[in-house]
Amino acid sequence: AQLNDIVTNTDVSDLYTAIYATGSTPDGANSPITLKGYTWVDPDGRFKLFSDGTLRDPVANQSWSRLVGNDALTGGFINRVKTYEAQTQETLLQSALSDLKKYNHPAVTYTTDIVVLPDDVQVGDTVHLRDENEQLFLTARVLELTYSYSTKSGTATLGDYLIESSGTD
């Protein structure tokens, strides 16, 4: 594919580095379950569950903390409170952990202006994109292809972008 441009858009509106999760209210209880008092240790050592029931990502917090320097290691977390349908602390933890992994970094999207797309490219194919000026090298899947016979132009919708190395040293 030949491109005019690749525009990178970064959105931090859903980013958080700590989550306080609540689940369902058990029968006979007055309040929903939380992770308070639950014991769990991340096998990879990255995520930390605190006694107050907050699940934190100290690694992401070093990049996104509201504080700087050593203070970012222990404070300044971007917090999110979220409610789940979980009925046990174990399933509540897994739901919160899954979301924290998903939202502990900015959402990045790409808009590409394609000049020429080879005729043999089909929906589902993987294409390689590069912007050498910005040293940006991507792969993307072709999600949709449309063609307008009246304007003799086509549109390709790409997704599942992955950053790849340039292949040069």
Residue 169 confidence (pLDDT):
44
What's the length of the chain? 169
Could you list the pLDDT tens digit for every one of the 169 residues in the chain?
Answer: 667 777 888 899 999 999 999 999 999 999 999 999 999 999 999 999 999 999 999 999 989 988 877 777 778 999 999 999 999 999 999 999 999 999 999 988 777 777 777 888 889 999 888 777 777 888 888 888 888 788 777 778 887 878 787 555 4
Residue 90 confidence (pLDDT):
97
CA 82 – CA 1 distance, rounded (Å): 42
Burial zone of 82 (CB within 10 Å; 0-12 exposed, 13-18 middle, 19+ buried): middle
Residue 41 confidence (pLDDT):
97
Place of tokens 């859903």: 14
2-11/107-116 β-pairing: antiparallel
- The one-character DSSP state at 43 is T
90 dihedral zone (left: phi>0; alpha: psi -120 to 50; beta):
alpha
| 160: helix, strand or coil | strand
